[in-house]
Amino acid sequence: MDAKNPAELRFMKMHGLGNDFVVIDSRAQMIRVTPGFAIAVADRHCGVGFDQLAVITQGNHDAHLTFYNADGSTSAACGNATRCIARFLMDESGKTALHLTTDRGDLFARDAGNGLTSVNMGQPQLDWRDIPLAHEMDTLELPIDGTPSATGMGNPHCTFFVDDVTTIDLATFGAAIEHHPLYPQRTNVQIAQIIGKDHIRMRVWERGVGITLASGSSSCATAVSAARRGLTSRKVRIDLDGGTLHVDWRDDCVWMTGPTKHVFTATFTADFMDALQ
């Protein structure tokens, strides 16, 4: 971790439906996050704990966002963190719409009213090269037991449709599928149960993290997969372990809407920062 005054490094703890984040605002003080720093902060016993760490930097528009997983790896997209940070930036600036950039590309966020925040997650990636997969194949039904669907949302996803999500040992199942050889960059894993034409129950294993209470990009990938298979309409409610998101796959990309929470703002101590040197 590089910073002019590392002992005074401030951070925010946020979550979207229990999908939790450490957010560092690096717009005024340039911070270089290392994998080792991310891993240390992610430790829920000796650090702060998070599913993803997000860094806000100056961008060509309102801000640029960079995401790190709990294992120190990076992710081009994180939907719930984007919504949380968008809410923070809108509250700070008084704006009701933002133009953000990520390694995924341009993302647009807006105030959806009633304390909800929407983010446009971009067009889903449906070609095997873009997800990416190891070789050419039909992304709607993969040659894996359970015939899951593959979708890219700036990060790879593998969605299984099951009769009852409560019957799956997600810890064992998710860990195995994350490292499936068809996914050279590993994958997020979703198990989804169709409740109705506009209603899905879903659980998530996140790449580089493990079981999470919610995931925005996973919700978008599941909504896209369900619509492609004709199981649902393109506008659905998705109930996760941590709460409910609403996903709308429109012609202009996939919009995701839900609540956010800024839990606290704090400062890393000198002892913690010195131990990382």
DSSP 60-118: SSSEEEEEEETTS-EES--HHHHHHHHHHHHHHH--SEEEEEETTEEEEEEEEETTEEE
Same domain? 206 vs 236: yes
Same domain? 173 vs 71: no
Q: Which two tokens stand for residue 230?
A: 């004709």
Same domain? 17 vs 105: yes
Q: Which residues of the chain have pLDDT under 70?
A: 1-7, 277
Same domain? 14 vs 80: yes
Task: Say if 142 falls within a structural domain.
Answer: no
* Strand ranges for the chain from DSSP E: 10-16, 19-25, 52-57, 63-69, 74-75, 97-102, 105-113, 116-120, 149-152, 156-161, 188-196, 199-206, 210-212, 235-240, 243-250, 253-259, 261-267
Same domain? 205 vs 265: no
User: Minimal CA–CA distance to 246: which of 198, 189, 196?
Assistant: 198
CA 98 to chain centre: 18
Task: Say if 214 falls within a structural domain.
Answer: yes
Task: Say if 143 falls within a structural domain.
Answer: no
Task: Say if 213 falls within a structural domain.
Answer: yes
For residue 6, cis peptide bond before it (omega within 30 degrees of 0):
no
Same domain? 98 vs 38: yes
User: In angstroms, how far apart are the furthest CA atoms of the chain?
Assistant: 55
Same domain? 249 vs 266: no
Same domain? 10 vs 115: yes
Task: Say if 127 falls within a structural domain.
Answer: no
**Contact by Cβ (8 Å): 161, 140:** no
- Confidence (pLDDT) at 4: 44
- Confidence (pLDDT) at 6: 53
Considering the entire predicted model, what is its pTM?
Answer: 0.93
Same domain? 16 vs 90: yes
Q: CA–CA separation, 54 vs 256, rounded Å?
A: 19
Which of helix, strand or coil describes residue 263?
strand
Which CATH number is 33's domain given? 3.10.310.10
Specify the number of domains making up the chain: 2
Same domain? 246 vs 181: yes
- Confidence (pLDDT) at 7: 56
Task: Say if 133 falls within a structural domain.
Answer: no
Task: Say if 188 falls within a structural domain.
Answer: yes
Same domain? 115 vs 55: yes
Domain boundaries, position 60: 6-120+260-274
Task: Say if 162 falls within a structural domain.
Answer: yes
Same domain? 114 vs 10: yes
- Confidence (pLDDT) at 5: 45
